[in-house]
Structure 1
Amino acid sequence: MAYDLEEQEKLDALRAWWDRYGTLCAVLVFVIVAGIVGWRGWQWYQGHTASQAMGYFEALEGAAGQQGDDAVARIKAASNTLRSDFTKSGYTPRGVLVAAQALQARNDLDGAREQLEWLVNNSADPALVPVARLRLAGLLLEQKQYDQALAQIADAPPAFAGLYADRRGDILLAQGKTAEAKTAWEAALKAFGSDPVAQIVQLKIDALGGA
């Protein structure tokens, strides 16, 4: 009989504990399970989104290697989808750069400019923004919009000091500012150091003669 009483006391204690903490335990279990399910769902979503973005990027690359108005339309369509639906994907800024280069090669300067301006203002990859600015400056130089071109390369990241100075020299020369162009190219030479690109910059300086 003592054994039965002892068991009954344990059951009573367990019921009392459950009455007090049972709801809390159930809530905690629910939160944990929901968190696990949510995390796995998020991982699936991320993987699915990355796969879709990669598909559009590959479609863009394929269209960039083709010719004709249909290819241009596919380039722009793929880029627009990447920009609107996959803004934070790593494929998007790279796809936009590919689109800009392909459009510029087809002499669609306004189309290429629109791509690069979007990248400068919206890229989720800050490492590609200096590249976009450099290319945009070159494109604006082609369009003879010199002040806007110079504005794109006003502040050079250390890794782009030589390239920005070289492009600044090109723009200044196009404006007829020969002495300032030479100064910019000399700065580029200093930044490039022993890089083979420095030889090209030196040829530009030599072409100025005694200017």
Structure 2
Amino acid sequence: MEVYSNENEQVDALRRFFADNGKALVIGVVLGVGALVGWRYWSNHENGSAKETSAEYQKLTTELDGSKPQTVEAVTQFASNNNNTYGALASLDLAKQYVDKNDLGNAVTQLQRGLQDTKDANLQAVLNLRLARIQLQQKKADEVLKTLDGIKGDGWTAIVADLRGEALLSKGDKQGARDAWKKGIDSDASPALKEMMQMKMNNLG
């Protein structure tokens, strides 16, 4: 089963967003002229730092090549040094490299690290989806279900339902799998995903 197949568009959209904005959005109430000056200084400093981090992330991940250990080490170091969204994105890139090498244990480690580094709900959802796919490959159905429970938002309902059905079926729970896929079909899923889940339901007999 291909680990990276359903949420790539969301990942690309997230990368574009953070590359274009170059700054984590921090909202606060600023009172007084002195506080406002301090805020502007801090904001400009943070904006510059974020742009530098974004540029470094783009450079390192563009050069990332699993066959070149030095590039993997460079991105690993970047992820370790940046406990923020860019670090999480770097961990996501590293996880794919490990999956390509069938090193699922290290892929899981990177995804779990990424989840600790970002508060962005959509990026957390992508990280959890990829983690669940790997756990499914590892035949850890209970861990898959627990990971899927951490994914919030209606936009992910169909993909979560598909994976939940696979996990339940692997546990021998055919009715649970049928119910999960039915929920996915009834959601605002893409026609292709709906058709796939319907085929899986049909195969249950």
Superposition TM-score, scaled by structure 1 size = 0.69
Change (3 A) 1:44 1:142: same
Matched, 1:172 2:157: no
Matched, 1:161 2:170: no
Partner residue in 2 for 1:58 = 58
Partner residue in 1 for 2:3 = none
Partner residue in 1 for 2:181 = 185
Q: Residue 138 of structure 1: which of 121, 133, 136 is its match?
A: 133
CA RMSD of aligned residues (A): 2.7
Q: Is the 8 A contact 1:93 1:125 kept in 2?
A: no
Q: Is the 8 A contact 1:149 1:171 kept in 2?
A: yes
State the distance in 2 between where 1:43 and 1:179 align.
Answer: 53
Q: Which structure is richer in relative contact order (CA contacts within 8 A, separation 6 or more)?
A: 2
Where do residues 1-211 of structure 1 align in structure 2 (5 Å cutoff)?
Answer: 36=37, 38-39=38-39, 41-65=41-65, 67-83=67-83, 87=84, 90-154=85-149, 156-193=152-189, 195-208=191-204, 210=205
What runs of 5+ residues in structure 1 fail to find an aligned partner? 1-30
Q: CA deviation at 1:193?
A: 5.0
Q: Deviations over 1:94-150 (max 9, x none)?
A: 333223223222322222212221233441312321222111111111122221111
State the distance in 2 between where 1:108 and 1:115 align.
Answer: 11
Structure whose alpha-carbon radius of gyration is higher: 1
State the distance in 2 between where 1:126 and 1:82 align.
Answer: 18
Structure 1: which amino acid aligns with 2:186?
Answer: K
Change (3 A) 1:75 1:109: farther
Q: CA deviation at 1:151?
A: 0.4
Change (3 A) 1:33 1:67: same
- Percent of paired sites with the same residue: 25
Q: CA deviation at 1:33?
A: 7.5
State the distance in 2 between where 1:34 and 1:189 align.
Answer: 52
Report the 3-state secondary structure (helix = DSSP H, G, I; strand = E; otherwise coil) of the residue aligned with 1:94: helix
Report the 3-state secondary structure (helix = DSSP H, G, I; strand = E; otherwise coil) of the residue aligned with 1:153: helix
Change (3 A) 1:33 1:140: closer
Report the 3-state secondary structure (helix = DSSP H, G, I; strand = E; otherwise coil) of the residue aligned with 1:124: coil
Change (3 A) 1:174 1:68: farther
Q: Is the 8 A contact 1:189 1:198 kept in 2?
A: yes
Q: Deviations over 1:42-72 (max 9, x none)?
A: 2442133113311331134224345233333
